[in-house]
């Protein structure tokens, strides 16, 4: 089973990388872009056939390692 985790900074947390991308886009002539937020995507395979168990395992992985839940949010996609 495939898992994909999207990790982003929580709203209200300063995102200097997002701001740098926003400024670079503006400098390249892409005006009208604002509110850029930088994040990461983590993809992996699970030896699990039950989607609910897979979701539970990935939730635990996020809480323990993949995301800093104090300053980051995460979203999980479980597929086949």
Structure confidence at residue 74 as a pLDDT band (50, 70, 90)? very high
Q: What is the mean pLDDT of the chain?
A: 96
Q: How far is CA 56 from CA 49, 50, 64, in A?
A: 12, 10, 12
Structure confidence at residue 72 as a pLDDT band (50, 70, 90)? very high
The pLDDT value recorded for residue 33 is: 95
Query: How many domains does the chain fold into?
Result: 1
Entry pTM: 0.86
Would you call 51 helix, strand, or coil by DSSP?
A: helix
Cβ 19 vs Cβ 76: under 8 Å: no
The pLDDT value recorded for residue 80 is: 74
CATH number at residue 46: 3.30.1280.10
What domain range includes position 8?
Answer: 2-79
Instruction: Please say if the pLDDT value at position 21 is more than 90.
Output: yes
Arithmetic mean of pLDDT, 13-25: 97
């Amino acid at each position: 089973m495939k898992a994909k985790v999207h990790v982003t900074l929580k709203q209200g947390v300063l995102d200097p990388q997002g701001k740098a991308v926003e400024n670079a886009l503006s400098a390249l002539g892409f005006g009208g872009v604002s509110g850029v937020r930088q994040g990461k995507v983590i993809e992996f395979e699970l030896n699990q056939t039950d989607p609910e168990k897979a979701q539970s395992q990935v939730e635990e992985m996020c809480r323990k390692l993949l995301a800093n839940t104090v300053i980051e949010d995460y979203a999980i996609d479980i597929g086949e």
